[in-house]
Amino acid sequence: MRPSILRRLFRRVASTAALALVAATLSTVAAARPAAAAGGLEQVTGFGTNPGNLQMYEYAPAGLPANAPLVIALHGCTQTADAYYTHSGWPKYADLWGFAMVFPQTTSANNALSCFGWFDPAEDTRGKGEAASIVQMVEYAKQQYGSDARRVYVTGLSAGGGMTADLLAAYPDVFAGGSVASGLPAQCATSQSAASGCQTGPQKLTAAQWGDKVRGSYPGYSGPWPRVAIWQGTSDYTVYPANATALRDQWTDVWGIGQTPSATDTLPGNTTRSVYNDATGKPAVATYSVSGMGHGLAVGPGSGTGQCGSTAAYFLNTICSTYYTGVFWGLDRGTPGGGDQLPAPSGLRVTAITANSASLSWNAVPGAASYTVHRNGTKVASPTSTTYTDTGLTAGTAYQYTVTAVDGSGTPGTASPQVTATTTGGTPAQCFTATNYAHVTAGRAHTTGGYTYANGSNENMGLYNAFVTHTLRESPAGHFVIADSGCAT
């Protein structure tokens, strides 16, 4: 939606107009709990004094043990807690990895567009309004589920993303990590009139100035700081990509680690991941730039471990951001706060391939008792050495591998950057260079929501038109990947 359209809409919603982000964006544990809401959520009442006038919904898998993590998920404007529960993919990983969830909900009683007040000091600062209500929900859930206070995380989309950044700044003693999807840096705006400017281009501040906004949110606090994931579509014209840059500058400055990535790699959905390690070599900040994606939360429907969610308004079919966020936080490994995990093995490489096998090697990690090897997101081996040969593969097929070090207590560390091994044999690869329109017409790609995706790999090729050209490599038959940089056959 163009800014001019937004302005007309804002005028129609009177005093809440400048909230921006139309996008898409403690009592006791014995408090009353109504029957389950649609989609499996349960509403909780009486969770606290609730100064922000929010509603609390919760979800937890059956048999959840004590000391499990807790995740707070904040919806975007015009959305509901149930919509976020239904489409984001978070419940899948709550079941798979074992953690409880809280889905706060704001309503039109607070804001005509049901936006969280990320720009309002009366709502988004420590001890005030909606921020205080959300922390009351955290305290309630920690008591109810016996959650590990060291492993409480918050994530949000759009306005929920802006509130997430504010919560991380105001309550770094509560949250071990956060994930901001198509959102704003902490304290980007402190008034309604400044909110729209943050959307389309935040203030041109230095990293230190952005960091000062975090440090000023809880004066005197000296750490540890939350680990922050930042998700952004390159074609987002509601919350511009400059916000992701500002978020990166802000949180790397808070961590004192500079703005040069420690590692950069490519993920599915035409996503570029850049990781910024702390002084001990552990990831502190990560950015995920999804090429061609507009405004919304990245989802990747499917039944695989790394696939999740369902498409809907502002839930965009590109990559399962929920999976990669959970891995970044360490939810798949049960690591307290992600702070005591071994670093990622370096130097992962493919040393040999045949028609049905791929051999890997990597550099040793001090303190590692063993390693886990994942193929296409699924664990396939736990070698004690720094080499492994994966067998029983299909000829002429590409496989993606990562390796994680495991300490003597069985706690896995950070996953390595991904490498690809393509087995020999099979049908020779073919390459096709054409416009997106021609690729779709020829059956090599398909369209969703005005964007083009390669058949098989589902890589985002950009807008569906005759003006964007890509080279696609087919191998095996019917599986296409973008090969613009070179197409070996």
**Per-residue pLDDT at 186 exceeds 90:** yes
Residue 158 falls in the annotated catalytic set: yes
How sure is the predictor about 34, in pLDDT bands with cuts at 50, 70 and 90? very low
Are 211 and 320 in a shared domain? yes
Q: Residue 436: its pLDDT value, please?
A: 92
Q: Residue 8: its pLDDT value, please?
A: 35
In a domain, 343, yes or no: no
Are 169 and 118 in a shared domain? yes
Are 203 and 93 in a shared domain? yes
Is the Cβ–Cβ distance between 298 and 236 less than 8 Å?
no
Are 233 and 304 in a shared domain? yes
Is the Cβ–Cβ distance between 226 and 173 less than 8 Å?
no
40/316: higher pLDDT: 316
Are 296 and 416 in a shared domain? no
Domain boundary among 338, 363, 385: 338
pLDDT in tens, 434-445: 999 999 999 999
What is the arithmetic mean of pLDDT over 35-46? 69
- Name the packing angle between helices 192-200 and 3-12 (round to 10°): 160
Mean pLDDT, the chain, integer: 86
Residue whose entry in the numeric block shows the structure tokens 């891995």 = 327
In a domain, 23, yes or no: yes
Domain boundary among 312, 338, 364: 338
Are 418 and 434 in a shared domain? no
- Say what the pTM is: 0.66
Half-sphere exposure of 451 (CA within 13 A, CB side): 21
Are 406 and 470 in a shared domain? no
Are 465 and 323 in a shared domain? no
In a domain, 411, yes or no: yes
Going along 182-319, which residue ranges are E strands? Answer: 227-233, 263-267, 271-277, 283-290, 297-299, 315-317
Q: Residue 203: its pLDDT value, please?
A: 82
Tokens of 402: 């990562």
Q: Residue 336: its pLDDT value, please?
A: 35
Burial 44-79 (b: 16+ CB within 10 A, else e): bebbbebbbebbbbbbbeeebeeebbbbbbbbbbbb
Percent of residues, the chain, with pLDDT higher than 70:
88
Q: Residue 434: its pLDDT value, please?
A: 94
Q: Residue 92: its pLDDT value, please?
A: 95
**Per-residue pLDDT at 321 exceeds 80:** yes
**Per-residue pLDDT at 291 exceeds 60:** yes
What is the arithmetic mean of pLDDT over 157-168? 98
In a domain, 443, yes or no: yes
Domain boundary among 338, 366, 397: 338
Q: Residue 193: its pLDDT value, please?
A: 82
In a domain, 269, yes or no: yes
Q: Residue 367: its pLDDT value, please?
A: 78
Q: Residue 27: its pLDDT value, please?
A: 31
Tokens of 46: 């009486």
Q: Residue 417: its pLDDT value, please?
A: 84
What is the arithmetic mean of pLDDT over 305-332? 94
How sure is the predictor about 335, in pLDDT bands with cuts at 50, 70 and 90? very low
**Active-site entry in 114, 158, 196, 321:** 158
Domain CATH number, residue 374: 2.60.40.10
How sure is the predictor about 18, in pLDDT bands with cuts at 50, 70 and 90? very low
pLDDT in tens, 367-393: 788 899 999 878 899 999 999 999 999
**Per-residue pLDDT at 41 exceeds 60:** yes
Residue 390 phi/psi, 5-degree rounding, is -95, 125
How sure is the predictor about 122, in pLDDT bands with cuts at 50, 70 and 90? very high
Are 327 and 367 in a shared domain? no
Residue 381 phi/psi, 5-degree rounding, is -165, 160
In a domain, 488, yes or no: no
Single out the residue of 398, 471, 479 nearest to residue 431, CA to CA: 471
In a domain, 489, yes or no: no
In a domain, 487, yes or no: no
Q: Residue 180: its pLDDT value, please?
A: 98
Are 313 and 354 in a shared domain? no
Q: Residue 26: its pLDDT value, please?
A: 28
DSSP bridge pairs for 56:
44, 104
Are 307 and 386 in a shared domain? no
**Per-residue pLDDT at 17 exceeds 80:** no
Domain CATH number, residue 90: 3.40.50.1820
pLDDT in tens, 408-429: 666 777 788 888 888 888 766 7
Are 317 and 436 in a shared domain? no
> Which domain, by its residues, includes 46?
3-338
pLDDT in tens, 60-92: 998 898 899 999 999 999 999 999 999 999 999
For the chain, the domain total comes to 3
Least confident of 21-35, 341-355, 454-468: 21-35
